[in-house]
Amino acid sequence: MSVSPGPGRGAKVTRGDPALSVLLVEDNDDAREALRILLELKGQRVVTARDGREALQEVRAQSPDVALIDIGLPDVDGFEVARILRAQPENRDLRLIALTGYAAERDRALEAGFDDFLVKPVNPDALFTTLERVCTGPHPRGTVENRPNSPETRNN
């Protein structure tokens, strides 16, 4: 049995207040359900999508605070979803977190417009620490004007 340090040294999981509106995009039913339960236990409002097209529709319909997007989606993959969303000025404040089984995809994910990156299977500490880091304070990619891949800078 391995035991981690207690609070103060380990990552403390805290409930976001006020609740975040989270879009969770994952084609694997088990993974989607587990992440949805974790987020709901934390008090977040969760909408789910199974593929890239559904994700784009839900962003338009729900205007979530943050989207957790699996990279390996069956139709429009997660990289392409991020590029499309980043090209739309109305999504300037949307935070994007990539979900992938391959740590090596990190740079490609950030280049596509993701703000952060989680390796699956996602453990609760990593999920909540990343959500807190990405969703509190100024946008992690800087101001709209100097964000890479934003509509304001793309042709500069």
Nearest distance in Å: CB 31, other proteins? 9
Nearer to other proteins, 61 or 126 (CB): 126
43 phi-psi bin (left φ>0, alpha ψ -120 to 50, beta other)? left
Nearest distance in Å: CB 17, other proteins? 5
Nearest distance in Å: CB 130, other proteins? 15
Nearer to other proteins, 3 or 103 (CB): 3
Nearer to other proteins, 43 or 148 (CB): 43
How many CB atoms neighbour CB 143 within 10 A?
11
For other proteins, the binding residues (CB under 8 A) are 1-7, 10-17, 29-30, 33-34, 37-38, 41-42, 121, 123-125
Nearer to other proteins, 79 or 128 (CB): 128
Nearer to other proteins, 82 or 134 (CB): 134
Q: Pick from 117, 144, 118, 127: which is nearest to 46 by CA?
A: 127
Nearest distance in Å: CB 85, other proteins? 28
Across 6-130, where does the E strand assignment appear? 21-25, 45-49, 66-70, 95-100, 116-119
* 140-to-13, 87, 92, 143, 148 alpha-carbon distances in Å: 20, 17, 11, 9, 11
Asked whether the beta carbons of 58 and 22 are under 8 A apart, the reply is: no
Nearest distance in Å: CB 47, other proteins? 18
